[in-house]
Structure 1
């Protein structure tokens, strides 16, 4: 009886050994540890602002005779935008010129009278009082000429204001007054011109990021960080910006500091008032060893991954992890570039046991 029991146990043990030997290694998916470029920085929301914005106003009163631009088009600096009727201002200029001519004639006559009186005084033919009177009349005539000259310049200036021009180059908006309307200096904005290239993006850095931002170079003196933009459709703006202004004070109401960056905008993709996501990253590329986040596990001792050696044996590798980004986890230590790690089938793999790896 005892021999039968011993024989049965030996048979069972041999069967299990043979079964274990025939059991295939579990299939897993592996990926290699890669060294990739990573970005260091943070994201925030910014608002696009025009570098220049000018409200066009009427500087003289009159009826609008002409609108010289197409709404929404680009205009050059000094180009004509509106024309105000100029007849009354031409008449005023002619009147001022006539007054100047009269004042100059009076001055010429006063100069002659003064010269004659000075000659007569040498012969004691006139009194000193008479000579002083002629000198005063000459000085008054000179003052009248100066006043008339100022009147001519004022009339010329008013006449020039009838041609309303753009002080900057940019894109003009909608006209608020049409031809035939009476406009005055108090009528309000005739139209607005904004400069769209380059363009500003203004952001507010929170108090928590303020100290770190200062340490990492968020300033206008050759900062190591540079801003990039993510547009509303999720695409990345093609041009890199640069910081040109940092507010010297913290806003006590929001505990933030204002920062402004300049971006090229040749295609006018960015428009004032729109919101964009601003990514503030290092100018110089930075690299790190990375693994998929799905491969990293954690126990009481810390983070680890299951690596596969040359003999396809699963091994625990303790790792020191860094930042997470785009589905990856930066590895500070514990792995080398090219190491194979399990990314799928972790529940089937056992440390120290063989696996059947398939490259992802």
Structure 2
């Protein structure tokens, strides 16, 4: 009975082994198929891509510049008188020739009238002297008078001519003084506050009545390193047609929309700063630029330069060199070796290896392997 039990035990064990083998052989293909199915249904990684494009990489350097007025004129009184009228609004833009101040004129008109009368008297004396000279010349021919009488008549006529010239000059001076009672703006610009009010007595020693500042066009000056200009001087500086042009960025970060041009370079290096002053002139019709303010001056080469730029984060490096991951038409990642050039802010110039329009991965690179399909999303 024990042997039977043992035999039965052996039989039962053998049945269990064969049963496991049978089950394994039957279920193995199902497990393999399930694993393959799971791998096939694994989610495709999403990556952010950037389109390769050609961009402007024209060389430029930036400097801090200061805005300066093209002209600044102090308005002075050239004659003495009571200020009777102020014809401008303080802080406004005045045009060349606009009336700014008017002084009392009555006294100067009287002087003009007086000088006119003196001129008329001198002209009358001249006429009389000329007539007397003509008579004496005729008498001298007849030997009716002496040569001394004729010489005296000639001297009187010359003196009368001189008196006419003096009277005419005095009249012009009086008329000029009368014109100075009206003070006009010599330039177009923005006028300051008036330093004198109506009713004040002003003269040549009173100082500036107001100041007119020319702001269109306007200057911007920058200090350039002497070393920076060595190559430029070797090639020859041509201010009539310089190879570079200045562009402005304002203090709020916005770009000034008016183009400028260089018109002056100092002839010597400053002994204290080891720099040379360069000056550019800009149109300023909207009065955006104000004398004294600071701006950023970008000096750019006039001839534009274009190149392929890619973000630095897209460029990787291995033992073979620099590479990027390019998304092909089959939506798979491909390794593409490239030749990087200069750095432009957060981008790299790519000299060789990419063409415009290709898609490169810029985010999610760590999730991708070569020839792996990806879900590409174009970044902003």
What TM-score, normalized by structure 1, do the two folds share? Answer: 0.83
Once the 2 structures are TM-superposed, how far is the Cα of residue 212 of structure 1 from its aligned partner? 4.8
1:193 is matched with which residue? 212
Question: 1:147-182, CA deviations, whole angstroms, 9 ceiling, x for partnerless residues?
Answer: 111111111101110110112223222111111111
What CA deviation, in whole Å up to 9, does each residue of 1:45-81 have, x standing for no partner?
2222233332211111111111011112222222211
SS at match of 1:234: coil
Task: Tell me what 2:59 maps to.
Answer: 40
CA 1:213/1:355 → structure 2, altered by over 3 Å: closer, same or farther? farther
Give distance in 1, aligned partners of 2:360 and 2:234. 37
Query: Corresponding residue for 2:341?
Result: 321
Indicate yes or no: 2:68 matched with 1:63.
no
Q: Does 1:79 align with 2:98?
A: yes
**Number of residues of Structure 1 aligned to a counterpart in Structure 2:** 343
Q: 1:259 to 1:62 in 2, by over 3 A?
A: same
CA distance in structure 1 between the partners assigned to 2:316 and 2:206 by the alignment: 70
RMSD in angstroms over aligned alpha carbons?
A: 3.0
**Normalised by the size of structure 2, how large is the TM-score?**
0.79
Choose the corresponding residue for 2:372, options 323, 347, 354. Answer: 354
Closer, same or farther: CA 123–28 of 1 in aligned 2, 3 Å: closer
1:28–1:355 CA contact under 8 A, matched in 2:
no
Distance 1:291 1:207 in 2: 34
Unaligned runs of 5+ in 2: 1-27
Secondary structure of the 1:189 match is: coil
Gaps of 5+ in 1: 1-10
How many angstroms does 1:303 deviate by?
4.4
CA deviations 1:177-232 (Å, max 9, x no partner) are 11111111121111122232222222222223223556899743333433221111
Q: Deviations over 1:15-37 (max 9, x none)?
A: 9xx79x94877654333322223
Residue deviations 1:303-336, cap 9 Å, x none? 44444555734536243222313x3221122333
Contact preservation (8 Å) 2:125, 2:160:
yes
Deviation by residue 1:257-277 (Cα, 9 ceiling, x = unmatched) = 332223222222122222111
Out of 95, 111, 119, the position equivalent to 2:138 is 119
Q: SS of 2:308's equivalent?
A: strand
Bigger radius of gyration: 2
Shift of 1:298: 5.1
Matches within 5 A, 1:1-360: 22=39, 28-213=47-232, 219-297=238-316, 303-308=322-327, 310=330, 312-313=332-333, 315=335, 317-325=337-345, 327-349=346-368, 352=370, 354=372, 356-359=374-377, 360=379
